Amino acid sequence: AQKVTQAQTEISVVEKEDVTLDCVYETRDTTYYLFWYKQPPSGELVFLIRRNSFDEQNEISGRYSWNFQKSTSSFNFTITASQVVDSAVYFCALSEAEAAAGNKLTFGGGTRVLVKP
Amino acid sequence: DTGVSQDPRHKITKRGQNVTFRCDPISEHNRLYWYRQTLGQGPEFLTYFQNEAQLEKSRLLSDRFSAERPKGSFSTLEIQRTEQGDSAMYLCASSSPSHPGRLRIFGPGTRLTVL
């Protein structure tokens, strides 16, 4: 069975501080995909990044960066120089391999980020 | 607008009433998913369709819940005899076979409150 754990339920920072969100996952599949979604107060889930299990390169997109470490089953997300608009709940999610039946997306419990001005 | 749309956005109902939600996926997406999200939790998978076929249902989907996607386009999720425990955000998502990992694009959700 798949499982995603986001141990931090809430993080509060002051604007311009960096914030790192932890994500640890469990799966027996050798091929899988990891995702991060952002859920602002409006409620809609916004896709941020997708990473497949064979690509361990870290990725940077503007102020966002992701650190995928297969050895520790972690896919952490860092926001650099946080801004008030980054305040939201962030979800890490895991999807089983393409060919598998179901192809469910399993979410972690989310981390609420509050950026204070 | 080519995103996923859901209707209504909010629904307040009394316990015991039936409610129906609609989801319109992105037109070229052949898979459609329903998720439920309760306060402070991540979304939980309910069911999904590939075209008009319902291929999987979660154990969370009790007999009071039914979902359809009659022509492989829009989908409806009906809850019969609603209970207070059904209060949640119901999220719909769709995906395309051409997107690696079956990237789900989510709609804005329907927030259900059962009084």
Query: Which of A4, A37, A52 is opposite residue B101, by nearest beta carbon?
Result: A52
Residue type present at position B12: I
Asked whether the beta carbons of residue A104 and residue B109 sit closer than 8 angstroms, the reply is no
C-alpha neighbours within 13 Å on the C-beta side of residue A66: 21
Task: Give the C-alpha separation, A115 to B49, whole Å.
Answer: 38
Asked whether the beta carbons of residue A44 and residue B33 sit closer than 8 angstroms, the reply is no
The stretch A12-33 carries a mean pLDDT of 94
Provide the residue count of chain B: 115
Q: Does A44 touch chain B (CB under 8 A)?
A: yes
User: Which residue, chain included where needed, has tokens 């889930």?
Assistant: A45
The tens place of each residue's pLDDT in chain B, 115 residues long, gives: 579 999 999 999 999 999 999 999 998 899 999 999 999 899 999 999 999 999 888 888 889 999 999 988 999 999 999 999 999 999 999 988 777 667 888 999 999 999 9
The sign of the torsion formed by the CA atoms of A108, B1, B54, A49 equals negative
List of chain B residues whose C-beta atoms are within 8 Å of the C-beta of residue A42: 108
Asked whether the beta carbons of residue B42 and residue A110 sit closer than 8 angstroms, the reply is yes
In terms of CA atoms, which chain A residue is nearest residue B100? Answer: A98
**Are the CB atoms for B36 and B90 separated by under 8 Å?**
yes
Task: Give the C-alpha separation, A10 to B61, whole Å.
Answer: 30
Instruction: Take residue B21 and report the two structure tokens written for it.
Output: 């939600």
Task: Give the C-alpha separation, B72 to B26, whole Å.
Answer: 12
Provide the residue count of chain A: 117
List of chain B residues whose C-beta atoms are within 8 Å of the C-beta of residue A47: 103-106
